[in-house]
Amino acid sequence: MGYRRWLQIISVKNVNDWNIIMEHVELVREIRCFDGTLLKPEHQANLSKIPRLYAATIDSHSDVCHDEHNRYAYRNILSTLPPSLKRLEIEHAHGPDIKIISLVKKHCPELEELILGRCTMFNRSPACDFWSSFPHDHDAYMSIDGTDAYAHSLGNELAPLKQLRLLRVGLYFVPSDIVLAHRLYHQRGLSAPATIHWQSAIPLAERTTNPPLQEPAHAEPATPVQLVSLLHRRDEDSHTEFECSKCVEITDASGRGAENSANSILRVYLPKIVCVEWMGWLTPGHLGTHSYRFPL
């Protein structure tokens, strides 16, 4: 009895684990696939062979690789899913959400919970190779611009999922330069300029002066390596409530307004949705969510 119950909730930590799991597929109800366990098509196909699979958590960090020209390219971590699936959580993805959504619509249209997590500067410290190569592209998941248009696009893609009740999206509705503003200026008691020139702002912030310097001093410009280090640095108080009055002033009202508007738009496309969650900048470690519930 204990062995059967153990197999109901299973983790795939390395590819050899598939050999054991596939001998007992009829027992598995929940599965967690660690990074690197779904790189081969035959391992991806295993998921669709689990007839009673209810929930799956997939670490998709390996969804980028180098192609034959040594350039970054997206690759599939998932190619099929069982129709029985009701809950899908994606972790640490770099690729666009549309690939996962399309897969869900095709293979498990009765899905009830969808969590679309991303690899970010807040959950990857130090930076992975991808973000070390593209330190200026974090606006892919942090922006306050075009949020309504995004919600319409997302809602249109998700509309065929008639049973979807919970949706978590790995986006922060905040200005894309808020991290630089906070770490280079707010932490020194200064307001950030409208345009932040990180090459001069980083060495300036590293100089301890009283009062803090606001104008560039004579210093070597910061390098992209220094920028990556700054962005992926964990806050010292990352496990406690995030408190920065300047960040609150800049992001709280505008962010919640954008989230509320996006929620209303999504509700039109997804009439059965009960809960929508967005990533929250003003949360411990910037890893928490803002959760909105609709009346039943």
User: For 94-143, what is each residue's pLDDT tens digit?
Assistant: 999 999 999 999 999 999 999 999 999 999 999 999 999 999 999 999 99
Mean pLDDT over the full length of the chain: 92
**Is the residue at 246 inside a domain?**
no
Q: CA 40, 53, 77: angle at the middle one, nearest 5?
A: 25
Name every residue whose Cβ is closer than 8 Å to that of residue 10 and which is 6 or more positions away in sequence: 17, 21, 28, 30, 31, 32
Q: Domain check: are 164 and 183 in the same one?
A: no
Say if residue 140 is in the same domain as residue 198.
Answer: no
- Judged against a pLDDT cut of 90, whether residue 239 lies above it is answered with no
Q: Confirm whether 278 is domain-assigned.
A: yes
| The predicted structure's pLDDT at residue 185 | 95
Indicate whether 194 and 210 sit together in one domain: yes
Q: In this structure, are residues 258 and 149 in contact, taking their beta carbons and an 8 Å threshold?
A: no
Q: Are residues 192 and 284 in the same domain?
A: no
Position 108 in a domain? yes
Closest among 140, 115, 143 to 130, alpha carbons compared? 140
Residues 206 and 72 in one domain: no
278 & 186 share domain: no
Q: Are 67 and 73 in contact (CB under 8 A)?
A: yes
Q: What is the pLDDT of residues 163-219, one digit of tens each?
A: 999 999 999 999 999 999 999 999 999 999 999 999 999 998 887 655 555 555 567
| 112 within 8 A of 166, measured Cβ to Cβ | yes
Are the C-beta atoms of residues 264 and 270 closer than 8 Å to each other?
A: no
245 part of a folded domain: no
Whether 218 and 132 map to the same domain: the answer is no
| Structural domain for 67, as ranges | 2-174+252-293
**Same domain flag for 212 and 121:** no
Q: What domain count does the chain have?
A: 2
CA-CA distance, 52 to 29, in Å (whole number)?
A: 6
Mapping DSSP to helix (H, G, I), strand (E, B) and coil, where does residue 91 land? strand
Instruction: Look up residue 294 and give its two tokens.
Output: 């609709």
Query: How is residue 212 annotated by DSSP?
Result: P
Q: Are residues 190 and 79 in the same domain?
A: no
* Same domain as 201, residue 134: no
Whole-number pLDDT of residue 211: 55
> Do residues 190 and 84 share a domain?
no
Residue 206 pLDDT? 80
Query: Does residue 237 lie in a domain region?
Result: no
Contact 95, 62 (CB under 8 A): no
Q: Is the same domain home to 148 and 198?
A: no
Residue at 241 is within a domain = no
Q: Higher confidence at residue 89 or residue 1?
A: 89
Backbone angles phi, psi at 9, to 5 degrees: -120, 110
Instruction: Kindly report the length of the chain.
Output: 296
The three-state secondary structure class of 194 is: coil
Q: Which amino acid is at 91?
A: E
pLDDT (0 to 100) of residue 215: 56
Q: Which two tokens stand for residue 237?
A: 């108080």
Q: Which of 16-20, 172-176, 219-223 has the highest mean pLDDT?
A: 172-176
244 belongs to a structural domain: no
> What is the per-residue pLDDT for 295?
84
Model pLDDT for residues 252-295, shown as the tens digit of each residue:
999 999 999 999 999 999 999 999 999 999 999 999 999 999 98
Q: Kindly state whether residue 256 falls inside one of the protein's structural domains.
A: yes
Q: How far apart are CA 118 and CA 59, in angstroms?
A: 10
Q: Residue holding tokens 């679309």?
A: 116
Return the pLDDT at 241. 76
